[in-house]
Amino acid sequence: MNFKAQLRIVISEFQKSIKIWLAYPILLVFWVIAPLMWLLPFIFQGKALVGGMHSEAFKNLTGSPNYLPFVLIGAMVSTYIFSGLWGVGNSLREETYWGTLEYIIASPASPILVLLGKTLAEFLYASVNVGLQALLATLFLGLNLTITKILPVLVIVLLLVIGFYGFAIAFAGLTLLIKEAHGWVHTIEWVFYLFSPIRYPVEVSPITKTLSALIPLTYALVAIRTIILLNKNLGDLHKIIFILLIMDIVLLLGGYIIFRLSERRTKVAGTLGQY
């Protein structure tokens, strides 16, 4: 298949995913509002414990005393991770449920191209979500986003999601072999909630600090918060950017290999299409 035909596969999958999402407009509303709703208790908890919107103890740990933007950024960036986990990681499970997976595998198209289409659609979807979240947060929660910070933040987000989607593709492959995928999605969610600074500064305990170093999301969140809250630029973050790049390469390659292996394994074990 020539490059043009391959590109068409990616674009068609992209269009298909978007069209199916548009059939469930309520879900878009849900994913915009829910992450913001989930973080409101953290704001009220902050108020109750420190009496205002600034905390000296928080400043000692994170460099900024403002806990509100801290949790806001955590909620917004993690939207990419959690919607990607469902949207890409669980997507082949979804195709199985629809009964369409066998037809995709039986076609001459590479399933990796199909997943690439899904990934691009997912990125757009999450970006729309986060964009709307940022808008709501600016209007109602007093988040201060200057235009000049958007570009460097986007660079970090891209570095985060490239590796993460590699992971999600590997996961998508594994869901062909493991039936109870949604349980694993939850387990992965836990790991992220507990050991990365989505909802609290991991520096608070040496255990969480050490474990969080294994998760790319940790670096991305630290970098994004540094840009937005401490007014640093990308140049100051070259070390984090380097670590993220290495993680991207490892995750993308690993994701590809694991997917290929699981795809083959599925055809031997005969579990394709079973729901």
What is the footprint of other proteins within residues 86-125 (CB under 8 A)? Answer: 97-100, 102-109, 114
Q: Write the binding mask 185 to 204 for other proteins: x where contact by CB under 8 A, - elsewhere.
A: -xx--x--xx---xxxx-xx
Residue 102 or 236 having the CB closest to other proteins: 102
Residue 29 or 214 with smaller CB distance to other proteins = 29
Applying CB under 8 A, the span of 30-38, 77-85, 214-222, 228-236 interacting with other proteins comes to 30-38
* Rounded-to-integer distance, Cα 85 and Cα 172, Å: 9
**Region of 18-26, 127-135, 153-161, 214-222 interacting with other proteins (CB under 8 A):** 18-26
> Least distance in Å: CB of 146 to other proteins?
26
Q: What Rg do the C-alpha atoms of the chain give, in angstroms? A: 20
For other proteins, the binding residues in 215-274 under the rule CB under 8 A are 264, 267-270, 272-273
- Torsional class of 98: left (φ above 0), alpha (ψ -120 to 50), beta (otherwise): alpha
- Least distance from other proteins to the Cβ atom of residue 242, Å: 27
Nearer to other proteins, 198 or 223 (CB): 198
What's the min distance (Å) between Cβ of 131 and other proteins?
21
- Whichever of 5 and 249 has its CB closer to other proteins, that residue is 5
8 A C-beta contact, residue 159 and residue 245:
yes
Spatial contact of 137 and 86, defined as CB atoms under 8 Å apart: no
> Total binding residues for other proteins by CB under 8 A?
74
Shortest distance, CB of residue 234 to other proteins, whole angstroms?
Answer: 27
Give yes or no for residue 48 binding other proteins (CB under 8 A). yes
> Closest approach of Cβ 183 to other proteins, in Å?
5
Q: Does 12 bind other proteins (CB under 8 A)?
A: yes
Q: How far apart are CA 257 and CA 272, in angstroms?
A: 19
Q: Tell me how far, at minimum, the Cβ of 59 lies from other proteins, in Å.
A: 10
User: Segment 158-177, which members bind other proteins (CB under 8 A)?
Assistant: none
Q: Between residues 73 and 162, which has the closer beta carbon with respect to other proteins?
A: 73
Burial class for 124, CB neighbours closer than 10 Å (0-12, 13-18, 19+): middle
Q: Nearest approach, Cβ of 252 to other proteins (angstroms)?
A: 23
